Chains A and B, each alone.
Chain A
Amino acid sequence: MASKEVTSTDEFVKGLWRDNPVFIQVLGMCPALAVSNTALNALAMGLATTFVLLMSGLSVSLLRNFIPREARIVCYICIIATFVTSVDYLIMALSLELHRALGAFIALIVVNCLILGRAEAFASKHKPGRALLDGLGMGVGFTLALLFIGVVREILGSGSLFGVAVFPDGFQTWTVMVLPSGGFFAMALWLLIVNRIKQKQAAAAKTVEVTS
């Protein structure tokens, strides 16, 4: 029982760091680079993706014995597209302004390979509870990663954070950071930091192994 507890937590935690969808698996680059120009957009995109991940993971897991292997991709895509359409309506009901800001990228969640990837690699092989935990972990990891990128881009590119100015008047905004190329720069910066930390961790783990 105890060991099972640990592994379920692990299903959740792995998406945050060890298998982070953006920084480690480098999946879902299209939204990660395109709509992370402000922190709010990044957060909204992350939450929308998390919702789709959770719902499609749950559905695929529940239906995993019903879906024949040969027809699985079309079924997964159908399920994912359904929840993306739902999230589209939900965001419209929530705020039209937000819907305008995210633009075409909500519909593009369908082709985010992260979601199909989790459905194929995890949800179709595990029980619903596990699939939900995995989807939640991946979703939160994705949201955090987008938020990290969005914060850097918004602070430099607009001089604000969540729309609130963080610098006194006269701050020179870095136009490039709100342009698509800024997404690549911010992404590269975080990848540099994440890889550096991972290297350090790996080195530390090695020393522990040797000494123990």
Chain B
Amino acid sequence: MNVPGQQPQTSAWSMYRAIVGIGAFCALVIVVVFQSTAARIRDNQERFLAAAIADVLPETRTTVAVGLAEDGRLVPTTETLALPVFLAYDEAEQLAGAVLTAMGMGYQDNIRVLYAYSFEQNAIVGFKILESKETPGLGDRVEIEPHFIANFEALDASLSVDGSALANPIVTVKQGEKTDPWQIDGITGATITSEALGNILNNSASEWVPVLERDAGTIERGDRSNGQ
């Protein structure tokens, strides 16, 4: 392997030394940066979430994080779930709605969304994308296209008669073909992303809305924590 005229081959030891040494150095740098920024990042994320909740459900004053108990009942929780769900209360301490996080596969990567469910209208009344890596200019139009955002002013999510599932599954239809309140008017040119959002909402709502409708009223007043 030694081409004549080239400098002598470096010993294996010095290569190991360099690679392991640099690996250790890099690991150290990353750990230091991660440790020193972790608190700020968590802080930012909490503030971001609070702002996002206020965005999708403006009446919100206080929130209670809820989760499922072992027997499938809705209970307040103090754990930080991967996809947190909140009950939101307004100024008069009345239940204003629920704010849910949902996640699913988009075109490029997972999309995380936050949406508000209104017990009064039995509909999804607010929607915001928390995290997406969709193609700039195409998939990310789901965040700016006015006709698409208008879908979530009142997207029907009412339950079937026995209360175990959605009466009509939430689906994305082609742009301009929306006929029913549970359909999402898609975006031409962002078909995959808009369909993915329909699936994400449908999966999350089918799972949570029956539980919320059944148990949300049972959450005790004293359990409420002050969500800023």
Contact = CB atoms under 8 A, between A and B. Distances in A.
Q: Do A and B touch each other in the complex, judged by CB within 8 A?
A: yes
Contacts of B81: none
Interface string B26-40: 100110011001001
Interface in A66-107: 66-71, 74-75, 78-79, 81-83, 85-86, 89-90, 92-93, 95-97, 100, 103-104
A81 B26 contact: yes
Contact of A178 (B19, B33, B132, B137): B137
B41 A89 contact: yes
Size category of the binding interface on chain A: 20 to 34
Contacts of B7: 69
Interface stretch (B10-18, B56-64, B178-186): B10-18
Nearest to A104: B133
Contacts of B17: 66
Given A67-B22, A104-B108, A85 B30 contact: yes
Contacts of B30: 82, 85-86
B177 interface: no
Contacts of B18: 63, 66-68, 71, 75
A34 B21 contact: no
B105 to A, nearest CB: 15
Contact of B15 (A63, A68, A96): A68
B10 A68 contact: yes
A148 B15 CA distance: 43
B22 A63 contact: yes
Size category of the binding interface on chain B: 20 to 34
B23 interface: yes
Contact of B41 (A85, A86, A92, A100): A92
Interface string B115-150: 000000000000000011100110000000000000
Interface of B: 7, 9-10, 14-15, 17-19, 21-23, 25-26, 29-30, 33-34, 37, 40-41, 44-45, 48, 108-109, 131-133, 136-137
26 contacts: A37-B136, A68-B14, A68-B18, A69-B7, A70-B15, A71-B19, A75-B18, A75-B22, A78-B26, A79-B25, A79-B26, A82-B25, A82-B30, A85-B30, A86-B29, A86-B30, A92-B44, A93-B37, A96-B48, A103-B132, A103-B133, A103-B136, A104-B108, A104-B133, A179-B137, A180-B137
Interface of A: 34-35, 37, 59, 63, 66-71, 74-75, 78-79, 81-83, 85-86, 89-90, 92-93, 95-97, 100, 103-104, 178-180
